[in-house]
């Protein structure tokens, strides 16, 4: 489906702990999770708590593998017409890397307590970045109606 990047390995820099095994029906907005970062990287978290929000990249290890459809129903809603896979946030993508913008509630050593991370317990975390308004946001962004009129 796409060319393999040879010689590249991904490293888990940490893991999500929230006791949640299935996506909650009411959504992830209020879910509080711990990101347990490898203790060898504790120092690399210094100053992160000077930001109110962080970006978490994680490996959606439960995503489907093998041949993927190029068209999907948005948000898994069968009532909506299919759209291109890359116009969706489906976890079943060529590289199942999730990206979440979450509130950082607390950092304590190698532990980050965050709110709103949409990842099940045991999800490997591959990167953490500070959220920078302006660079990471777009004030004039528009979306199609099938996103807003679920």
Binding residues for its own copies (CB under 8 A): 1-5, 8-13, 38, 40-41, 43-48, 50-53, 55, 57, 59, 70-71, 83-89, 93-95, 97, 99, 101, 103, 124, 126-133, 135-138, 140-144, 147
Do residues 48 and 103 make contact, with C-beta atoms less than 8 angstroms apart? no
CA distance 85 to 93: 7
Q: Which is nearer to its own copies, 23 or 130 (CB)?
A: 130
Distance in Å, CB of 72 to its own copies, minimum: 9
Distance in Å, CB of 22 to its own copies, minimum: 20
Q: Which is nearer to its own copies, 53 or 113 (CB)?
A: 53
CA distance 21 to 35: 15
The full DSSP string for 32-43 is EEEEEE-GGGGG
Tell me if residue 49 falls in helix, strand or coil: helix
Residue 36 vs residues 80, 86, 107, 129: alpha-carbon distances, Å: 37, 30, 10, 15
Distance in Å, CB of 80 to its own copies, minimum: 11
């Amino acid at each position: 489906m796409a060319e393999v990047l040879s010689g590249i390995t991904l490293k888990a820099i940490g893991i999500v702990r929230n006791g949640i095994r299935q996506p909650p029906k009411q959504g992830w907005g209020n879910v509080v999770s711990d990101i347990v970062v490898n203790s060898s990287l504790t120092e690399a978290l210094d100053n992160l708590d000077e930001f109110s929000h962080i970006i978490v990249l994680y490996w959606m290890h439960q995503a489907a593998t093998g041949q993927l459809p190029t068209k999907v129903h948005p948000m898994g809603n069968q009532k909506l017409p299919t759209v291109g896979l890359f116009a969706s946030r489906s976890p079943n993508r060529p590289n199942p890397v999730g990206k979440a913008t979450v509130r950082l509630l607390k950092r304590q050593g190698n532990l980050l307590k965050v709110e709103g991370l949409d990842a099940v317990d045991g999800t490997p975390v591959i990167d953490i970045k500070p959220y920078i308004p302006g660079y990471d946001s777009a004030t004039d962004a528009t979306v199609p109606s099938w996103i807003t009129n679920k």
